[in-house]
């Protein structure tokens, strides 16, 4: 079962995403509300995937992804946002991540498809 | 003729002959002038008899001294004719017909003597007239506003000088200058050579134009005189006198210099005004002003200074070639010294100083070789911004009269430029703040949408997808999800409504300022009374500005004022809307302190209005906006 860390500064969003992913058969191993705790939890929990919201209070998702890439065992990162991909342009392509899923497109199938592509 | 009458005639003829004989004997061969009258008085036994002499081209009849003589006042006048007409008149008592022969005889005998005496009377009369003319001429010469000096070929004042010139030179009328040289008496010592040379040329007929020279005057100040020379020859045609007539042109020259100075001043003011109108930079303008002031007033140095603490800082200066200048940027302490600049700034009026008392200023003046100074304050919006000053060295004269007034005109232009620059700066800052505030508002709106409604809608979207997947497996869980989704939707709607109201309250658009402010008042955490005297709607922009003034003021009251009551007043006078928010809190707010109030001031000023915040600490706060309704 794929182990996932959900990073989002809105509690309601974290709650909804956890329910959606768990219903789709993922193992949500942890939640983080900001970039620092996301990096820390990734180090501690060693998730397979980090579902990473781009807009965070202390640093943005691209910076968090870069930090995660420095880890010895780096998790696969999927960027997400309530904004659309075109709002971020090339930043998404250049980030050390598997790809981007807008929150309104997030489903278990969409995530699986992105991770297997 | 009867016997008796014939006898009487014979007797009178005899008497006449006797009288004529006696008359001729009495007069003698060459009688002195006037003798005729005395002899005639005896002959005709008439002590009141007078003799008049006819001078046709002079006053008419004259007496023996040449004085006018009027025969009409006498009882009887007997006119005496010579070979070529009338020569005189006798005035005497009336004579009896028997004395007619006697009178005729005597007149005939007296005719020759009368003719001689008439020449005497004529010469007396002419002399008298000459004397009168001489007196008249002297009067003119001594009282005319013209200087006269009469010198001989050697330059000695043999003909003297007139009273007008004596007075200017300070020489008493009793003093004899007639044996002294012209240049010793009249000229300035340094002009002596020139005067000698000039008189030499005049004496030889080689210079007769106008010569301008300076003369010494009683009060020590030299006067400028335009001399015209005339040569007066003697009987042999040789030079006897040179008559110098001088017109004092000192005042005219001063007036001309003053007019030139005024014209220069106007031109300089025009140049500075042009620089002001062209919105030259302050440093450029200050440099222009310093140079214009320096050159205009023939100064030694000129500077524009700015008040700073207890002293001044030189903004920029100008110095005449070879003069020393206190450098731009230098601070000069004015505490305890009386400088013309300090006085001008204190009294807010132009000043002039020709001496300094205190030691420090004296040293500074000595060091900079200053001998007189003028200064005028630069007052911007009622505050003393600084001053313009100018100095002169000892080698030139003090500043001309009125120079400090000219300096004040220059200072007004500088003040205008500064006020313009400050207004421009304020306007630019205000524009920048308005743009910044707009950007900030949009950022805030985006953040609020993103963090609020958008998040709720995202959660809602996820929940609906989740419900879709679970609908068949777990209807209970699905119902719970739908319940949460419904709550999220309601929350999202509430947040969108709140945001929309923050953008522009619908009640303001729909019902106007009074009701909109009443809504604000009702929602405020402290009691607010709205005192609305508006009878009709205001223009949209004015309503919006007034609304935000009250909204921001109420928010500030709630946050800072610790007030127990707020009053909001609205009224309109002619074309201006007045909005006031008055609280009974702690006071001490200022418009520039909080960006909220500053932003409101910008909004109000953008409509041509004014926002004022008043309130000493402890006395409550009054925020008042006046906004023209255009």
Interchain pair B481, A19: CB under 8 A: yes
Highest mean pLDDT among A50-64, B75-89, B470-484: A50-64
Q: Residues of A with CB below 8 A from B470's CB?
A: 23
Range scoring the smallest mean pLDDT among B17-31, B501-515, B568-582 = B17-31
What value does the mean pLDDT of chain B take?
85
Smallest Cα distance from B453 to chain A, Å: 11
Interchain pair B465, A107: CB under 8 A: yes
Interchain pair A55, B481: CB under 8 A: no
B381 and B527 together in one domain: no
Rg of chain B over all Cα atoms, to the nearest angstrom: 54
The reply to whether A19 touches chain B by the CB within 8 Å rule is yes
Query: Closest to B462 (Cβ–Cβ): which among A55, A83, A103?
Result: A103
Answer yes or no: is pLDDT of B501 > 80: no
pLDDT in tens, B208-234: 678 888 888 888 888 899 999 888 888
Which pLDDT score is estimated for B455? 83
The answer as to whether B450 is a domain residue is: yes
B431 and B316 together in one domain: yes
From B383, B396, B218, select the one nearest B298 (Cα to Cα).
B396
The answer as to whether B83 is a domain residue is: yes
Q: Residues of B with CB below 8 A from A83's CB?
A: 450
The residues, ordered by sequence, that sit 6+ positions from B501 with a Cβ below 8 Å of its Cβ are none
Secondary structure class of B533 (helix, strand, coil): coil
B522 and B480 together in one domain: no
Which position has the token pair 């040449």? B66
B313 and B232 together in one domain: no
Secondary structure class of B460 (helix, strand, coil): helix
Mutate to test the interface with A, among B455, B469, B470 (most CBs of A within 10 A): B455
User: Between residues A44 and B334, which one has the greater pLDDT?
Assistant: A44
The residues, ordered by sequence, that sit 6+ positions from B587 with a Cβ below 8 Å of its Cβ are B561, B615, B616, B617, B618, B619, B620, B621
Which position has the token pair 């505490």? B335
The answer as to whether B518 is a domain residue is: yes
B28 and B78 together in one domain: yes
Residues 77-96 of A with CB under 8 A from B: 82-83
- Average the pLDDT over B562-590 and give the result: 89
User: What is the strand order of the sheet B301-308 is part of?
Assistant: B331-333, B311-319, B301-308, B383-393, B370-380, B351-353
Range scoring the smallest mean pLDDT among A73-77, B61-65, B281-285, B543-547 = B281-285
CB B71 within 8 A of CB B91: yes
Which pLDDT score is estimated for B355? 76
Q: For residue B523, count CB atoms less than 10 angstroms from its CB and return exposed for 0-12, middle for 13-18, buried for 19 or more.
A: exposed
pLDDT band at A80 (very low <50, low <70, confident <90, very high): very high
Answer yes or no: is pLDDT of A68 > 60: yes
The reply to whether A13 touches chain B by the CB within 8 Å rule is yes
Answer yes or no: is pLDDT of B2 > 70: no
DSSP code string of B102-118:
HHHHHHHHHHHHHHHHH
B103 and B172 together in one domain: no
Which pLDDT score is estimated for B290? 85
The CATH number covering residue B508 comes to 3.30.565.10
Q: Which DSSP state fits B452?
A: I
Interchain pair A55, B450: CB under 8 A: yes
The answer as to whether B261 is a domain residue is: no
Answer yes or no: is pLDDT of B235 > 90: no
User: Between residues B469 and A39, which one has the greater pLDDT?
Assistant: A39
Which residue, B115, B140, B165, sits at the end of a domain?
B140
Range scoring the smallest mean pLDDT among A45-49, B157-161, B613-617 = B613-617
B24 and B35 together in one domain: yes
The answer as to whether B544 is a domain residue is: yes
pLDDT band at B593 (very low <50, low <70, confident <90, very high): low
Answer yes or no: is pLDDT of B560 > 60: yes
Which pLDDT score is estimated for B153? 87
Task: List beta partners, residue B151.
Answer: B242
Q: Which DSSP state fits B629?
A: -
The total domain count for chain B is: 4
Q: Residues of B with CB below 8 A from A82's CB?
A: 450, 454-455, 458
Give the length of chain A: 117
Determine the angle formed by the axes of helices A11-23 and B455-470, rounding to 10 degrees.
Answer: 20
Q: Residues of B with CB below 8 A from A17's CB?
A: 462
CB B568 within 8 A of CB B580: yes
pLDDT in tens, B594-618: 557 788 888 888 888 899 888 777 7
CB A75 within 8 A of CB A30: no
Rounded Cα–Cα distance for residues B401 and B381 (Å): 29
pLDDT in tens, A87-114: 888 888 888 999 999 988 899 999 999 9
B267-273: long-range pairs with CB below 8 Å, 24+: B268/B292, B268/B293, B268/B295, B268/B296, B268/B410, B269/B406, B269/B409, B269/B410, B269/B413, B272/B410, B272/B413, B272/B414, B273/B413
Which residue, B91, B111, B140, sits at the end of a domain?
B140
Residue B508, both tokens: 């303001």
Interchain pair B469, A16: CB under 8 A: no
Query: Residue A20 half-sphere exposure, CB side, CA atoms within 13 Å?
Result: 28
| Number of Cβ pairs < 8 A linking chain A and chain B | 46
Which pLDDT score is estimated for B33? 86
Which position has the token pair 């997808």? B465
Answer yes or no: is pLDDT of B6 > 80: no
Answer yes or no: is pLDDT of A28 > 90: yes
The CATH number covering residue B364 comes to 3.30.450.40
Interchain pair B458, A16: CB under 8 A: yes
Rounded Cα–Cα distance for residues B580 and B546 (Å): 9
The answer as to whether B274 is a domain residue is: no
B183 and B120 together in one domain: no
The reply to whether A12 touches chain B by the CB within 8 Å rule is yes
The reply to whether A104 touches chain B by the CB within 8 Å rule is yes
The answer as to whether B321 is a domain residue is: yes
Interchain pair A16, B450: CB under 8 A: no
Which position has the token pair 């100075």? B261
The reply to whether A20 touches chain B by the CB within 8 Å rule is yes
Quote the percentage of chain B above a pLDDT of 90.
20
Query: Residue B411's domain spans which residues?
Result: 297-503
B187 and B128 together in one domain: no
B324 and B415 together in one domain: yes
B218 and B323 together in one domain: no
What value does the mean pLDDT of chain A take?
91
Give the length of chain B: 630
Residue ranges and CATH numbers for the domains of chain A are 3-112 (3.40.50.2300)
Other CB atoms within 10 A of residue B282 CB: 16
B226-230: long-range pairs with CB below 8 Å, 24+: B229/B202
Q: Residues of A with CB below 8 A from B459's CB?
A: 10, 12-13, 15-16
Interchain pair B458, A107: CB under 8 A: no
Interchain pair A16, B456: CB under 8 A: no
- Distance, C-alpha B285 to centroid of its chain: 25
The answer as to whether B421 is a domain residue is: yes
Torsion-angle region of B77 (φ positive above 0: left; ψ -120 to 50: alpha; else: beta): beta
Q: For residue A22, count CB atoms less than 10 angstroms from its CB and return exposed for 0-12, middle for 13-18, buried for 19 or more.
A: middle
Which pLDDT score is estimated for B93? 87
Which residue, B254, B286, B312, sits at the end of a domain?
B254
The reply to whether A16 touches chain B by the CB within 8 Å rule is yes
pLDDT band at B247 (very low <50, low <70, confident <90, very high): very high
Interchain pair A16, B470: CB under 8 A: no
Residues B544/B546/B548/B551 CA torsion (nearest 10 deg): -130
The residues, ordered by sequence, that sit 6+ positions from B285 with a Cβ below 8 Å of its Cβ are B272, B275, B276, B414, B417
The reply to whether A11 touches chain B by the CB within 8 Å rule is no
Answer yes or no: is pLDDT of B588 > 80: no
Query: Closest to B455 (Cβ–Cβ): which among A12, A107, A108?
Result: A12
Secondary structure class of A7 (helix, strand, coil): strand
- Average the pLDDT over A63-72 and give the result: 88
B555 and B480 together in one domain: no
Which pLDDT score is estimated for B580? 94
pLDDT in tens, B370-398: 778 899 999 988 889 999 988 887 666 77
Which pLDDT score is estimated for B442? 86
The CATH number covering residue B246 comes to 3.30.450.20
End-to-end CA distance of chain A: 18
Interchain pair A82, B466: CB under 8 A: no
CB B90 within 8 A of CB B80: yes
Q: Residues of A with CB below 8 A from B458's CB?
A: 13, 16, 82, 103-104
pTM of the predicted model over 0.80: no
């Amino acid at each position: 079962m794929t182990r996932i860390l959900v990073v989002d500064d809105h509690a309601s969003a974290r709650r909804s995403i956890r329910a959606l992913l768990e219903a789709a058969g993922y193992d949500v191993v942890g939640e983080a509300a900001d970039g620092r705790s996301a990096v820390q939890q990734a180090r501690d929990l060693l998730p397979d995937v980090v579902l990473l919201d781009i807009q965070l209070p202390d640093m943005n998702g691209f910076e968090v992804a870069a930090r995660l890439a420095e880890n010895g065992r780096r998790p696969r990162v999927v960027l997400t946002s309530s904004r659309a991909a075109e709002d971020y342009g090339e930043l998404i392509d250049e980030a050390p991540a598997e790809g981007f899923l807008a929150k309104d497109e997030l489903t278990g199938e969409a995530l699986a498809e992105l991770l297997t592509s | 003729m009867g016997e008796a009458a014939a006898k009487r005639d014979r007797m009178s003829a005899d008497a006449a002959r006797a009288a004529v004989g006696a008359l001729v004997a009495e007069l003698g061969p060459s009688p002195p002038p006037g003798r005729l009258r005395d002899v005639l008085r005896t002959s005709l036994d008439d002590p009141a008899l007078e003799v008049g002499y006819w001078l046709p081209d002079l006053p008419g009849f004259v007496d023996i001294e040449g004085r006018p003589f009027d025969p009409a006042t006498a009882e009887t006048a007997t006119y005496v004719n010579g070979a070529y007409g009338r020569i005189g008149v006798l005035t005497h008592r009336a004579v009896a017909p028997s004395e007619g022969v006697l009178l005729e005889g005597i007149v005939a005998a007296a005719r020759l003597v009368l003719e001689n005496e008439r020449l005497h009377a004529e010469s007396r009369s002419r002399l008298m007239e000459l004397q009168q003319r001489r007196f008249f001429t002297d009067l003119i010469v001594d009282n005319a506003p013209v200087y006269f000096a009469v010198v001989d070929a050697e330059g000695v004042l043999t003909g003297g000088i007139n009273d007008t010139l004596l007075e200017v030179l300070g020489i008493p009328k009793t003093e004899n200058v007639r044996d002294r040289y012209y240049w010793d008496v009249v000229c300035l010592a340094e002009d002596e050579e020139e005067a000698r040379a000039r008189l030499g040329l005049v004496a030889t007929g080689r210079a007769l134009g106008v010569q301008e020279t300076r003369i010494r005057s009683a009060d020590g100040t030299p006067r400028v005189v335009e001399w015209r020379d005339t040569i007066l020859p003697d009987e042999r045609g040789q030079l006897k006198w040179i008559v110098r007539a001088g017109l004092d042109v000192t005042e005219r020259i001063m007036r001309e210099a003053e007019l030139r100075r005024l014209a220069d001043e106007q031109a300089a003011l025009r140049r500075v005004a042009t620089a002001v109108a062209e919105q030259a930079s302050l440093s450029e303008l200050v440099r222009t002003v310093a140079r214009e002031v320096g050159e205009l007033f023939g100064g030694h140095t000129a500077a524009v200074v700015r008040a700073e603490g207890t002293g001044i800082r030189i903004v920029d200066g100008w110095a005449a070639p070879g003069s020393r200048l206190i450098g731009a940027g230098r601070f000069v302490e004015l505490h305890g010294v009386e400088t013309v600049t300090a006085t001008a700034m204190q009294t807010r009026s132009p000043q002039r100083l020709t001496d300094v008392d205190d030691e420090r200023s004296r040293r500074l003046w000595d060091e900079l070789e200053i001998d007189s100074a003028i200064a005028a304050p630069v007052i911007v919006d009622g505050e003393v911004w600084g001053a313009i000053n100018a100095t002169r060295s000892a080698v030139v004269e003090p500043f001309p009269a009125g120079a400090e007034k000219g300096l004040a005109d220059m200072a007004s232009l500088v003040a205008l430029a500064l006020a313009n620059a400050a207004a421009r700066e304020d306007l630019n800052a205000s524009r920048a703040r308005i743009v910044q505030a707009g950007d900030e508002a949009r950022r805030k709106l985006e953040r609020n949408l993103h963090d609020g409604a958008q998040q709720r809608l995202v959660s809602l979207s996820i929940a609906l997808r989740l419900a879709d997947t679970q609908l068949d497996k777990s209807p209970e869980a699905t119902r719970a999800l739908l319940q949460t989704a419904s709550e999220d939707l309601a929350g999202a709607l509430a947040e969108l409504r709140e945001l929309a109201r923050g953008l522009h309250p619908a009640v303001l658009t729909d019902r106007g300022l009074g009701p909109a402010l009443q809504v604000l008042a009702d929602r405020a955490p402290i009691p607010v009374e709205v005192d609305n005297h508006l009878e009709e709607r205001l223009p949209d922009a004015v309503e919006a500005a007034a609304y935000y003034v009250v909204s921001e003021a109420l928010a500030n009251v709630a946050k800072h004022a610790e007030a127990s009551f707020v009053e909001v007043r609205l009224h309109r006078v002619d074309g201006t809307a007045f909005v006031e928010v008055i609280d009974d809190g702690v006071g001490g707010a200022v418009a520039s302190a909080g960006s909220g109030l500053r932003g409101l001031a910008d909004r109000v000023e953008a409509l041509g209005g004014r926002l004022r915040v008043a309130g000493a600490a402890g006395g409550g706060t009054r925020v008042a906006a006046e906004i023209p309704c255009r």
